[in-house]
Structure 1
Amino acid sequence: MVFSSKKLSIAASLFTLALADPWPKRGLAANDDIPISQFGGSYNGHGSQVNWQYNWDSTTSQKQSWAEFVPMLWGTQSYHTTQWFDNAWYWINNGGSGHLLAFNEPELGSQANLSPGDAANAWRQYMEPFYGHAQLGAPAVSNDGYNWISQFLQACSGCHIDFIPIHWYNDWTLEADFENWVNSICSLGGGRQVWITEFQALGNADQEATFLRSAIPFLDNNPCVYRYSYFGTADNGKDLLQNGGPSLSSLGIQYAFSPYGSGSV
């Protein structure tokens, strides 16, 4: 099936009306070797709030039946771009995907490493062709990237950017800083919705749980936020899993099964 922006909007509206709760926002940033099957289903009568996944790549070997896979063009290296169009069109036309992500932390030399102008040119080449077939994301900056994303949005002013993904990493005591960061991008985006595709409170498990008890209600109740994924199902971070999975840690249970608008199971 080919999705258009209009079809996506109508489908989302109809599906939302069919749910007792608003549309779930939670997702997983999960490398393919990380088991995520137990994030679906239910726990003690609470249904999972996780309904999308991505893996920093443009295809996956562990698509979950209960989650939309969102392809990502991590960077402009040839080993990403040569497979990008085939993979993205496959997931849009055959895999039920209706969104695409672009360029991971391009403000950092250790990540996608692109200037705002170069990223805008690459976005036009690799993302713009999907306009009308999927919802398209801007590059995803971390919480050091406000100036970068501001410059990118100016450089790509004619681009059909539907949403802005961002990241946040900071101490668990700084939940107010997290809210301010999200709200600042909501204000910058000119009406675009925001995805938080990586975020993590730095602390022990109990401290992370305390952070999520405040962060989840903020995100679920913020109309600017369309989706979010807590960092904890990756090769370099497994906080949502018990001993590497597939069983969930107490933090993973809290994240997946806390009811919409609540940070506690």
Structure 2
Amino acid sequence: MSFRLFVLSVLLATAFAQSTTSRRHFRWSRHSRYRHHRTRTLRPTGGFYPTGGLPTGGSPTGGYATGELPVPTSAAAPVIPSSDVPSYSRPISSAPVSSVSTVVVTTVVTTPLPSTVAPTTAVPTTLVPTTVGPTTAAPPPATTSKASSISSYAPAPSSPSGDGSKKGLSFTDPSVLTPWAGKGVGWTYNWWTTRGNVPKEMDYFPMMWCPTKLSVKAWEDAANTAISQGSTRILGFNEPDQTGQCDITYQAAAEGHMAYMNQFKGKAKIGSPAVTNGGGQMGLTYQENFLNACNGNCSIDFLNMHWYGNKQNAVYNFQLQVNKTIALGEKFGINEVYVTEFGMNDGTAQDKADFLNQVLPWMDGMAKVGGYAYFMCSDGSLMSGSSISPVLGAAYASA
């Protein structure tokens, strides 16, 4: 009897242990399925999204992810020209290149004004002035045709400034220019009027950012100082066709150009406003409306353009926009174009370097392209900290 009770107790203990193990296995399996369902995908700028839960509208907060779009290897198929796209965006200059391939997001950003220079006049509450108050009389009406009048201000393309290179750098901190000494940089600008510690071998182009930022007299003094320090060109308003930038009507831009820029005819080469490649009333439509509003009275030596686009067909779309700008200039007797901002919104650093390796030699060979500046000389783009970035920056430096 005692032996039978012993065997029975062993069997009962074994059965209880198996039952406990089975329940634990069931709980673990259910938890595993739940965890699998909640597997998350890394967001482009940190944090996570649940799998399948990427937003269907809007964009993640800040930044952008790498897009895996094909690069054309032959003549591009018909595409929508970038100038016809109804939106305009450029990447945040400090955004690091991401290797995550989730969703492509572009973010419109404002070009920063250097914090070291304060406007000398209060900024009006509206960004679209109804009048521009010049301190000197406006030029008399033109007595010749529109094209010939502007052409009289526009010389034939000459050798680029600085050390002879078309390559330029846009910056907000002049210390980032130091590593570029001896890298063939011909000119620089910083969206403002003061040269600062720009290396002597590089020309500096002051910019009249917007009539809402400086009085005519303040700009006159600043530009004359820059010219006395060796500046050979002055840049017009920054993206007057873009909300968040200069953002004024083309009529106000024409009046402002005559008031601010015409006085430097014969002292320096004068650039038009820098327009985006946006569609609709932006971009080259705005530029042409501006030139028509000038009615032959604006002193202009070169047209100023910006371009941003995505990786797919980037080379084709960029060259198309440059050629359209050249054609517009020729229509008004203006024989030179400067590309003072350009860049790819998506893609890896190597994708962008490949883009530069194609478009920089092309622009160097274009007689009517006077200069270009990739956006921009800062950490995360052409720079990595205080050094030239090893892929994108190196491609620009070696061009």
TM range (shorter): 0.7 to 0.9
1:150 and 2:288 matched: yes
Deviates more, 1:59-68 or 1:212-221: 59-68
Map of 2:319 onto structure 1? 179
- Say which one has the larger Rg: 2
Query: Which is further off, 178-187 or 199-208?
Result: 199-208
**1:38 touches 1:248 (CA, 8 Å); kept in 2?**
no
For the pair 1:49 / 2:184, whether they are aligned, the reply is yes
What amino acid maps onto 2:362 in structure 1?
A: F
Moved over 3 A (4+): 12-16, 78-82, 246-249
Q: What residue is the counterpart of 2:73 in the other structure?
A: none
Say if 1:181 and 1:15 are closer, same or farther in 2 by CA, change over 3 A: closer
User: Are 2:396 and 1:255 equivalent residues in the alignment?
Assistant: yes
User: Can you list the C-alpha shifts for 1:96-140, whole angstroms capped at 9, x where unaligned?
Assistant: 111000100000121001111100000000000001110000000
Shift in alpha-carbon separation, 1:13–1:183, aligned structure 2, 3 A: closer
Distance (whole Å) between structure 1 residues aligned to residue 242 and residue 389 of structure 2: 31
Q: Is the 8 A contact 1:37 1:246 kept in 2?
A: no
Map of 2:337 onto structure 1:
194
Alpha-carbon shift at residue 15 of structure 1 (Å): 9.0
Deviations 1:178-200, CA, capped at 9 Å, x for gaps: 00000001000024200000000
User: Within the alignment, does 1:30 sit opposite 2:165 as a pair?
Assistant: no
Identity rate, percent: 32
Within 5 Å, which residues of 2 pair with 1:56-205? 56-79=191-214, 81=216, 83-93=218-228, 95-144=229-278, 145-156=283-294, 157-173=296-312, 174-190=314-330, 191-202=334-345, 203-205=347-349
How far 1:14 sits from its partner (Å)? 11
Partner of 1:233: helix, strand, or coil?
A: coil
Query: Cα–Cα, structure 1 residues 33 and 176, in superposed 2: closer, same or farther, change >3 Å?
Result: same
Contact kept? 2:253, 2:290, Cα under 8 Å: yes
1:34-60 CA distances to partner (integer Å, 9 max, x unpaired)? Answer: 51111122xxxxxx2211000000113
Structure 1: distance between partners of 2:161 and 2:249? 39
SS at match of 1:189: helix
The equivalent of 2:134 in structure 1 is: none
Query: Offset at 1:221?
Result: 0.8
Paired letter, 2:372: Y
CA contact under 8 A between 2:175 and 2:197: conserved in structure 1?
A: no
Residues in 2 aligned to 1:104 and 1:90: alpha-carbon distance in whole angstroms = 21
CA distance in 1, matches of 2:265, 2:234: 10
Count of residue pairs the alignment pairs up:
236
Decide which structure has greater strand share.
1
CA change 1:154–1:89 in 2 (3 A) is same
Distance 1:14 1:127 in 2: 21
Secondary structure of 2:358's aligned partner: helix
User: What one-letter code is carried by the residue in structure 2 that aligns with 1:178?
Assistant: F
Task: Extract unaligned runs of 5+ from structure 1.
Answer: 1-8, 42-47, 259-265
**Which SS does the other structure have where 1:132 is aligned?**
coil
User: Is 1:225–2:369 an aligned residue pair?
Assistant: yes
Shift in Å, 1:248: 3.7
Aligned-pair distance for 1:238? 3.6
Aligned to 1:3: none
Per-residue deviation at 1:82?
A: 5.4
CA spacing shift, 1:198–1:128, aligned 2, 3 Å: same
What CA distance in whole angstroms lies between the structure 1 residues aligned with 2:358 and 2:316? 9
TM-score norm. by structure 1 comes to 0.82
- Following superposition, the deviation at residue 91 of structure 1 comes to 1.1
Which consecutive residues of structure 2, in runs of 5 or more, have no partner in the other structure? Answer: 1-154
Instruction: Give the counterpart letter for 1:179 in structure 2.
Output: Q
1:154 aligned partner, one-letter code: N
Tell me the C-alpha RMSD between the 2 structures: 2.5
- Does the CA-based 8 Å contact 2:382-2:388 persist in structure 1? no
Deviations 1:218-258 (A, max 9, x none): 11111110000001214xx6410113x24443211210222
Q: Deviations over 1:132-189 (max 9, x none)?
A: 1100000000111111001001111221200011000001232100000000010000
| 1:169 counterpart SS class | strand
Alignment partners' CA distance in 1, 2:354 and 2:286? 31
Establish whether residue 216 from structure 1 lines up as the match of residue 348 from structure 2. no
SS state at 1:122 partner:
helix
For the 8 Å contact 1:175–1:215, the answer to whether it is kept is yes
Residues 178 and 78 (structure 1), Cα distance of their counterparts in 2 relative to 1, 3 Å cut: closer
TM-score (norm 2): 0.55
